[in-house]
Structure 1
């Protein structure tokens, strides 16, 4: 079978409205894919900076996948949360990034967003904390459903990933 190795890190989050952030991630693959080794999901530590608007995580990602075809190529789904002074986690953004299909080292920026909500929901969010969350997060993977959402932009999560491909030419897939 053809194999894909994804090695790297979730390096940082920047341009979010508040500090004390952590990121939950999950790798999404198609039905033809199998995880040979590595974790399918994880969570970074809480990070903040006193001097700039960048939270450095340097959280490792190391996963080995096998497949019989390229349909359902891996995507990394993320949720970024803010930890307030009471220890409550508030959703700050959703994002999804496709793993590059070419071998080599890549720097990826995942632009995040969150549901906008009504005026009443935004007042509650401002004064009491929390935030509007998707009832069905699977909507993120469906472009036909995602465009119907009213959202606001949040920050950017950066990835440093190295992609290794093996045995793809044996299965009729050519790459440069």
Structure 2
């Protein structure tokens, strides 16, 4: 049996053209994994971009302990970044997925986000008018390989994530 403790922080994101941003996280893992402590999903506070650099600072802590009988389905952290538009609607800005490092110790990395693209010009115009942009039904889809091969996406920004992994 293996045990894993993840202490992570979604530090900040760089997204030009977006403000009032917040992050949702969801852990995705195999069937043998069980959460012992902490939350499998979470939601950060809303942050405004600061200065000319355009960084939205969350400093969003994540603390989860998991156990498993095998390493198959090693955990991934699925991130969804949302913005609130001028009419108060939540709109997805980008999705990203981070593999929890299999080696113990501190790790820091940039995670590039992407968002689904409308498949036609008509759908793009309709989404712009209605404020209903394409988004994934299941935010954990970005952490899995099946079902994504035909999805058209565009890069949106990046998020700085620090992870500290402890194994036993």
Q: What is the rounded CA distance, in whole Å, between the counterparts of 2:82 and 2:132 in structure 1?
A: 10
| 1:96 paired residue number | 97
Note if contact 2:15-2:157 (Cα within 8 Å) is conserved in structure 1: yes
Alpha-carbon spacing, 1:16–1:75, altered in 2? closer, same or farther (3 Å): farther
Q: What is the rounded CA distance, in whole Å, between the counterparts of 1:107 and 1:50 in structure 2?
A: 22
| 2:65 paired residue number | 64
CA drift at 1:127? 4.2
CA drift at 1:78? 1.4
Gaps of 5+ in 1: 167-176
Q: What is the rounded CA distance, in whole Å, between the counterparts of 1:92 and 1:75 in structure 2?
A: 20
CA drift at 1:83? 0.7
CA drift at 1:144? 4.5
Q: Deviation per CA, 1:40-95, whole angstroms, max 9, x where unpaired? A: 00011110124121100001100001111110000011111111122210111121
Higher gyration radius (CA): 1
Q: Deviation per CA, 1:90-117, whole angstroms, max 9, x where unpaired? A: 1111211101010110012221111111
Alpha-carbon spacing, 1:106–1:147, altered in 2? closer, same or farther (3 Å): same
Secondary structure of 1:107's partner? Answer: strand
For these two proteins, the number of residue pairs brought into alignment is 166
| 2:121 paired residue number | 119
CA drift at 1:32? 0.9
